[in-house]
Chain A
């Protein structure tokens, strides 16, 4: 049987937010693009099993949380019930609508979308296993690897995706187990805990390190912890999962604390969220000559080109941070590079948001990073207790902080915690990219009453003259 051979200018493997952004942009720049992904439509993990369904469910969780808090303000709902089946359907509708939309965008651009998986045969050929059982060779001039990453497994504990779940299987939302163990207190662990708590599960968090969200500034975390005692009071830090035994109904989980004391507890289900690893195996990288680092991430240069002249890599498979928006930006840069444009991936700030209730968000340099680098910075904080908007929402537990270069007053980074804290990140990111200084922020009129005023007032704090705080400081 002879295999079909097709030709394309650009082959893009993986249609996540990085892959499809690259494909659309490359097509807009006049290149002939083939986009390969096992799913029916573009979207990848982000749209099918990650960002989007999570955000849909977190929105649901946040309304429930808000409704619960509203009792204090005189709004009481009786008989709050959760219909998991309906929640799941709604989530599926959201996913379908968005991925379907991407499919339309792809079709209208006349991008060749191939549903299947691809394997490098050499540096100009892919072998594609199509979803419908067909097989073909695809000759390409340039290729872009955007195969993403997948959840790490706990050593000795395999995912069965029924009772031992990854975030992906947990988002299938089969039911709300009464006892759920969440392993890992990073942003996925926290978000999933919030979701399942809202669905009615009793959640126990287990984390290997001392604290939630390693790498995030302590003051931001402290505010979060104060706000979510309900979630974290029974959390176990410096604790590892030693063993998981499955019996008919329950999971028997052996936990060991830092003193070496072990205990056994029973759960209905467990969710493992202990980081991700790049999908760089099983795609024939060695055949193409593409190199990876010791963690399996593909090595790329400033335009996201690999060691092989005509092969690029972006997104999670090409290194930290593993974030959709970083992948999309890289995808556009790589597309420009493939179209022969002079371009570069050179962000000054990559924002990150934990979409919990309350949200934790940051962009650019963190205080912890500055400390680590031994870099002299000035931190200006504005507590939300002094924000009219925050108090009016009944959510005065929050904090805005700016990390400023004392040499030239330029904004280097920003951190936020509180309700809708993520909405403040874009302004700070733009400010960093534009080399804005604290004076610019302080002199820009911010609408009242909004949380955005906290950025302006934090800048005023830097100069020792905020309106809504009395905090005299050395004059600048």
Chain B
């Protein structure tokens, strides 16, 4: 019997995914849970497993297609029956024959129903398609109509609209007798840029020079991760007034601890990293400084405090920057966090991460210490209000009041949204983190502020 493999729910707010590659072809036999396609949604790449075992009848999508949740990806001729034990089958032959007849009849009926369903579905699809085509035609007609209609704008204003990529027919005129002025076009373009914060990358009107004048070039289109990163970073940078705070933590003791207890974590198949420890300490810090765990709702003029502690961790992958989120950090042990951190980073690098694993973070940690650098200013991940940057630990002479001692110092930076967080509070927060790294016991009895 033929079953349909549909695109399942991927994550909240994600209703389409793009087919990156098909891993099977028509006529192939697949097992249950075998991956049949590699998909990509907003930011994550994931495999689509087949929930049906059988022979692939028809593949309804091709690579590059956008598929909606619930759309049929392929039809599979299910081989449920072949699975049965043949020995048993011989014993039960008589019984079975009868049953088979019955079953066949049932199946026929079911198939009939299926077909009916399918026919209906197709009908509906056709209708949908027709409707869509109708709409498109309407749009086309609108376009044609526009050509004939008179837009109340002078040639120079129309040309300006072209240059700014503004559809002049959408601009409302504020000039005499509703004429569209150049200011109207500029205001419209500005608004569009602001709106595109949510929609796409705002292309400004800066004109690139022709680079090929100076040598060979190659043009490649941006992939979805790059587009998304560009869009998010631009939106964050443009909308959040960033301030940066720097500090250093003496992690000499912590490093000793890491050396000593690293093996415990290794037993679990992971590594005890600074990031894992920092996750735990940050969780505590967020409880102490709840504003850093909040979001700003300017539209309703509210501050949204979150009662859960989810922390994003920036992961550098071949395809770009991903920020998987570790949930309920406060409720997990450092060992658990180390293991989860290892797994989630691995998943991000191997395109196995699911879109919902990239959502719901309250603050993020970006650790570039593995690469180097003395400090940097990461951009806040909207709708977070802060991000912690970690650079490379180095041994420095530290004066302890009597003499200089070599100490291992970890440079930390904090980028925060000055609309919600004041400088003093930020300095305290970061100092708190440093002190907690130096003496974790402090987290047990010392509050913030």
Binding site for B on A (CB under 8 A): 340-344, 346, 348, 373, 405, 408-410, 412, 432-435, 437, 439-440
Q: Give every chain B residue within 8 A of A435 (Cβ-Cβ).
A: 150-154, 177, 179-180
Using C-beta atoms within 8 Å of the partner chain, give the interface range for chain B: 10 to 19
Q: Is the CB of B179 within 8 A of A346?
A: no
Q: How far is the CB of B173 from chain A (nearest CB, A)?
A: 8
Q: Is the CB of A412 within 8 A of B150?
A: yes
Q: Is the CB of A342 within 8 A of B178?
A: no
Q: Give every chain B residue within 8 A of A344 (Cβ-Cβ).
A: 158-159, 162
Q: Is the CB of A434 within 8 A of B154?
A: yes
Q: Which of B196-226 contact A (CB under 8 A)?
A: 207, 210
Per a CB cutoff under 8 Å, which of A342, A373, A405, A433 touches B165? A342
Q: Give every chain A residue within 8 A of B178 (Cβ-Cβ).
A: 408
Q: Is the CB of B152 within 8 A of A410?
A: yes
Sample of 8 A–B contacts (CB below 8 Å): A342-B163, A343-B162, A344-B158, A344-B159, A412-B150, A435-B151, A435-B152, A435-B179
Q: Is B148 an interface residue (CB 8 A)?
A: yes
Q: Give every chain B residue within 8 A of A342 (Cβ-Cβ).
A: 162-163, 165
Q: How far is the CB of B350 from chain A (nearest CB, A)?
A: 39
Task: For A340, give the chain B residue with the smallest CB separation.
Answer: B210
Task: For B159, give the chain A residue with the smallest CB separation.
Answer: A343
Q: Is B155 an interface residue (CB 8 A)?
A: yes
Q: Give every chain A residue within 8 A of B159 (Cβ-Cβ).
A: 343-344
Per-residue CB contact flags for chain B residues 133-160 toward chain A (1 = under 8 Å, else 0) read: 0000000000000001011111100110
Q: How far is the CB of B252 from chain A (nearest CB, A)?
A: 59
Q: How far is the CB of A466 from chain B (nearest CB, A)?
A: 21
Q: Is the CB of B162 within 8 A of A405?
A: no
Q: How far is the CB of A30 from chain B (nearest CB, A)?
A: 10
Q: Is the CB of A410 within 8 A of B162?
A: no
Q: Give every chain B residue within 8 A of A410 (Cβ-Cβ).
A: 150, 152, 177
Q: How far is the CB of B157 from chain A (nearest CB, A)?
A: 9
Q: How far is the CB of B409 from chain A (nearest CB, A)?
A: 52
Q: How far is the CA of A41 from the CA of B148 in the complex (A)?
A: 38
Q: Is the CB of B165 within 8 A of A348?
A: no
Q: How far is the CA of A439 from the CA of B176 in the complex (A)?
A: 11
Q: How far is the CB of A463 from chain B (nearest CB, A)?
A: 14
Q: How far is the CA of A7 from the CA of B154 in the complex (A)?
A: 39
Binding site for A on B (CB under 8 A): 148, 150-155, 158-159, 162-163, 165, 176-180, 207, 210
Q: Is the CB of B154 within 8 A of A409?
A: no
Q: How far is the CA of A410 from the CA of B155 in the complex (A)?
A: 16
Q: Give every chain A residue within 8 A of B163 (Cβ-Cβ).
A: 341-342
Q: Is the CB of A405 within 8 A of B154?
A: no
Q: How far is the CB of A91 from chain B (nearest CB, A)?
A: 35
Q: Give every chain B residue within 8 A of A409 (Cβ-Cβ).
A: 177
Q: How far is the CA of A342 from the CA of B150 in the complex (A)?
A: 21
Q: How far is the CA of A223 from the CA of B169 in the complex (A)?
A: 39
Q: Give every chain A residue within 8 A of B150 (Cβ-Cβ).
A: 348, 405, 410, 412, 432, 435
Q: How far is the CA of A433 from the CA of B157 in the complex (A)?
A: 10
Q: Give every chain B residue within 8 A of A433 (Cβ-Cβ).
A: 154-155
Q: How far is the CA of A341 from the CA of B180 in the complex (A)?
A: 22
Q: Is the CB of A408 within 8 A of B148?
A: no
Q: Is the CB of B177 within 8 A of A437?
A: yes
Q: Give every chain B residue within 8 A of A343 (Cβ-Cβ).
A: 159, 162
Q: How far is the CA of A343 from the CA of B153 in the complex (A)?
A: 16
Q: How far is the CA of A433 from the CA of B177 in the complex (A)?
A: 14
Per a CB cutoff under 8 Å, which of A341, A348, A373, A408 touches B177? A408
Task: For A411, give the chain B residue with the smallest CB separation.
Answer: B150
Task: For A409, give the chain B residue with the smallest CB separation.
Answer: B177
Q: How far is the CA of A405 from the CA of B152 in the complex (A)?
A: 12
Q: Is the CB of B152 within 8 A of A346?
A: no
Q: How far is the CB of B36 from chain A (nearest CB, A)?
A: 38
Task: For B158, give the chain A residue with the smallest CB separation.
Answer: A346
Q: How far is the CA of A204 from the CA of B159 in the complex (A)?
A: 48
Q: Give every chain B residue within 8 A of A346 (Cβ-Cβ).
A: 158
Task: For A435, give the chain B residue with the smallest CB separation.
Answer: B152
Q: How far is the CA of A388 from the CA of B316 in the complex (A)?
A: 82
Q: Give every chain A residue within 8 A of B152 (Cβ-Cβ).
A: 408, 410, 435
Q: How far is the CA of A440 from the CA of B152 in the complex (A)?
A: 14
Q: Give every chain A residue within 8 A of B176 (Cβ-Cβ).
A: 440
18 extra A-B contacts, CB within 8 A, seeds A408-B152, A433-B155: A340-B207, A342-B163, A342-B165, A343-B162, A344-B162, A346-B158, A348-B150, A373-B148, A409-B177, A410-B150, A410-B177, A432-B150, A433-B154, A434-B155, A435-B152, A435-B153, A435-B179, A437-B177
Q: How far is the CA of A249 from the CA of B180 in the complex (A)?
A: 65
Q: How far is the CB of B185 from chain A (nearest CB, A)?
A: 13
Q: Give every chain A residue within 8 A of B148 (Cβ-Cβ).
A: 373
Q: How far is the CA of A434 from the CA of B210 in the complex (A)?
A: 34
Q: How far is the CA of A340 from the CA of B159 in the complex (A)?
A: 14
Q: How far is the CB of A368 from chain B (nearest CB, A)?
A: 15
Q: How far is the CA of A410 from the CA of B150 in the complex (A)?
A: 9
Task: For B160, give the chain A residue with the smallest CB separation.
Answer: A342
Q: How far is the CA of A470 from the CA of B119 in the complex (A)?
A: 73
Task: For A433, give the chain B residue with the smallest CB separation.
Answer: B155
Q: How far is the CB of B216 from chain A (nearest CB, A)?
A: 16
Task: For B162, give the chain A residue with the smallest CB separation.
Answer: A342
Q: How far is the CB of A147 from chain B (nearest CB, A)?
A: 26
Q: Give every chain B residue within 8 A of A434 (Cβ-Cβ).
A: 154-155, 179
B150, B154, B176 — most chain A CB neighbours (10 Å):
B150
B148, B152, B207, B210 — most chain A CB neighbours (10 Å):
B152
Q: How far is the CA of A440 from the CA of B176 in the complex (A)?
A: 10
